[in-house]
Amino acid sequence: MTLPLPLSRGARLVAALLALAAGSAVRAHAQGPIALTVSGTTGRPAVAVRGVLRDAALRDALASGLPLRFHLRMELWEKGTFDRLADAAETEAALVRSALEPGFTLETAHTSLPITTLPDAERALERAFVFDMHPTGRGRFYYLATLDVETLSLSDIDELRRWLRGEARPAVQGRAPVGRAVERGLRRFFVRLLGLPTRHYVVKSPFFTPR
């Protein structure tokens, strides 16, 4: 019988941190304040953001000057004996507190929009979360939307802006050392452990049949 090798002190610490992070992720998962509807004429999805920014932890992060990143993935599924993924798309946005005046800025791939209040920000997010997606055949379908809200560190916002403009991350294209990418990943990991809020919301539309 082979006995397992004892873990070093550093390895035990990393394992404990990973377990803590996994537990935090489970607690953060919830059915949140978003709604998903389907147009009866076009079969396209529409996302309603209803109170995501009423979350006290997210509001505190914004008040502290930390940006919020919104990542929405929309999936179109065909219902059957085995459900089939028919289409999928993703979009990103970032909400940042204005440095020199009251209000916020919502940044998407195409615009940088000044925002006065958080309810205005939610309405702007709804306008940004538009997908040109619909069934192309007959059958029963449904949409599945996943919204992730993440608190960024201040050094992450420039990287996100480049991503929103369509610029690939340098480490992915080989123009930056892999070690720097690992360092950024570790920094974000420990930022999460400090208690900065993240939220994970999933919502499913009713079944529908294209006209």
C-alpha distances (whole Å) from 182 to each of 16, 99, 154, 171, 177 are 19, 30, 18, 9, 9
The per-residue pLDDT string of the chain (211 residues; one tens digit each, 9 = 90 and over) reads: 544 445 454 444 344 334 434 433 333 333 568 899 998 888 999 999 888 999 999 998 888 888 899 999 999 999 999 999 999 999 999 999 887 778 999 998 888 899 999 999 999 999 999 999 999 988 999 999 999 998 876 556 566 556 555 554 444 444 444 454 444 455 455 445 445 678 899 999 999 998 7
Total domains in the chain come to 1
pTM: 0.69
Reported as type and span, the H/E element at residue 78 is strand 68-79
| 108 in a structural domain | yes
Cα–Cα distance, 24 to 5 (Å, whole number) = 28
Token look-up 């993935």 returns 73
| 15 in a structural domain | no
Give the domain extent around 37: 28-154+197-204
Cα–Cα distance, 170 to 159 (Å, whole number) = 9
| 11 in a structural domain | no
